[in-house]
Amino acid sequence: MTADHDIIIVGAGSAGSAIASRASEDPNRDVLLLEAGPDYADPASTPFDLINSHNNSYRDHDWGLSHSPTEGRTMPLPRGKVTGGSSAVNTTIALRGIPEDFNEWNDHGNSEWAWEKVLPAFKRLERDLDFPDVDYHGDAGPISIRRYPESELVEQQQAFLEAARSLGYPYCDDANAPDSTGAGPHPMNKLGRMRVSCAMGYLAPARARPNLTIESNSFVRRLIVEGDRCTGVEVERDNGLIELVRARSVVLSAGAIMSPAILKRSGVGPRRELEKFGIDVIRDTSGVGGNLCDHPALAISCVAKDPSIIDADQPLMQTILRYTAAGSDKRNDLQIELLSFGANRQGHASFAIAAVLEYTFGRGDLRLASADPHIAPVIENRFCEDDRDAHRLASCFRDTLAFAKAPPLASMIEQVAFPRLDRGIDDETIVKLCKERSGSGYHPCGTARMGPKEDPDSVVNEFGQLHGLANVLVADASIMPSVPRANTNLTSIMIGEKIGEWLRASPTIYGF
């Protein structure tokens, strides 16, 4: 049947926005971008929760998902449901993975994703306001990135960096330098208070193109598959109308939760799971929904001695420490950062110091709960069930406790509300805490990982093309073979940059 569009992109998030912008640079290519949430075409009409980069947007533009970080616990898993996706609701941390992350992707049969191959895309996406002249940064991209100078740090963030210095950690002025380590300001995609999301950076300048159509409140239920090829998508509009929209190529950029769910509802996934819900199996692909990666974290809650320093109108995050666990061969596998404000269970004015495991061995999975597209999938992370993860996070947590005792941060703390230090904190207790109480860094990825077709657990090839089904590709955090040692937003944008550029400049890869 005649295609309605050349390319349909499902999801206007970090990767999807970049792909829509790059692919539509070819005026002869008709591009349709579908977003399940609302769209705000200009900053003047954008709600404050999306503009406000000082804190996350938690409810108004959220999918309402839940997950189980560890056995027996269910917690919210915030994901952005709006143009810009999670880049429009997150903490605006613009942190790259380190070269070793991408060289590991290369080692798993993905040569296009080695460090020297992804660096040009990282440079192309950014406008680094602090280091525009160094050869590993870009100065003209759509995403503006800056770091807080010392004069703009809130009191507890300044104290965190001073404590890091007193504990012997080196200072790091640019955490995105390839060989960087240590404590310093976070690179962040924000200008003043304004969040520079992908909706703002990528879509705003592309909206005027007549060959790019953005349709919001358009929920994709499944792919349309005819024979051995995808010919379009089934879309549910906000008025309840369901229609089929056809294209020469479909790009799934719905994120690490929704992209595998769409694949499964379309008949691409593990046979046993699909048959359980009466879904016709088109491709028995065991890797869809598996290999769920994320960053386990465990935080210390500190009651402030002076409650006046706790102000939820100030930036939540400003600084970071990246370092390597003792005896580890994985550089920068640990991270410690301070959250400027929060409230503990007793309601005291508090801040938190979080220990985060950046390199993980353990994996979770994502499974359908129903064939109904409106029923959220079951998401189980199984954090720290792998003892290698539990023991390294425990060592990070112990290092984090040292911050609470180090000057000048210690003088700002009335008491540590969690964990209860009076009950003793030996190594066994901390490991147990990690296994039972770890939370998510909210960086899910890997659920449709790329790899050669000979790899039975890979879902797509290194160009994002689905194994065994033509005219459909996945391009978002789903395809990461493993979670990078960084917040995942910048890497997700980089994925969109690379695949968007291939669609624009090398369309024969995808049959155009």
DSSP letters for 165-230:
HHTTPPB-S-TTSTT--EEEEPEESEETTEE--HIIIIIHHHTT-TTEEEE-SEEEEEEEEETTEE
Tokens of 71: 């056995």
Helices vs. strands in the chain: H and E counts, helices first = 12, 25
Q: Residue 3: its pLDDT value, please?
A: 77
Q: Residue 343: its pLDDT value, please?
A: 66
Nearest CA to 86 out of 254, 216, 313 is that of 254
Q: Residue 342: its pLDDT value, please?
A: 84
244-260 confidence digits (pLDDT tens) = 999 999 999 999 999 99
Q: What angle do CA 338, 339, 341 make, to 5 degrees?
A: 140
Q: Residue 2: its pLDDT value, please?
A: 62
Are 503 and 22 in contact by the 8 Å Cβ rule? The answer is yes
Q: Residue 268: its pLDDT value, please?
A: 98
Rg over alpha carbons for the chain, rounded to the nearest Å, is 22
Per-residue burial over 275-297, b if 16 or more Cβ lie within 10 Å, else e, is eeeebeebbebebbbbbbbbbbb
Are 294 and 483 in contact by the 8 Å Cβ rule? The answer is yes
Q: Residue 424: its pLDDT value, please?
A: 79
**Structural domains of the chain, with CATH:** 5-48+197-291+445-510 (3.50.50.60), 149-185+296-359+384-437 (3.30.410.40)
pTM, to two decimals: 0.97
Catalytic residues: 443
467-495 confidence digits (pLDDT tens) = 999 999 999 999 999 999 999 999 999 99
Other beta carbons within 10 angstroms of residue 241's beta carbon come to 8
Ranges of residues in the chain whose predicted pLDDT is under 70: 1-2, 343-345
37-90 confidence digits (pLDDT tens) = 999 998 889 999 999 999 999 999 999 999 999 999 999 999 999 999 999 999
Percent of the chain whose pLDDT exceeds 90: 96
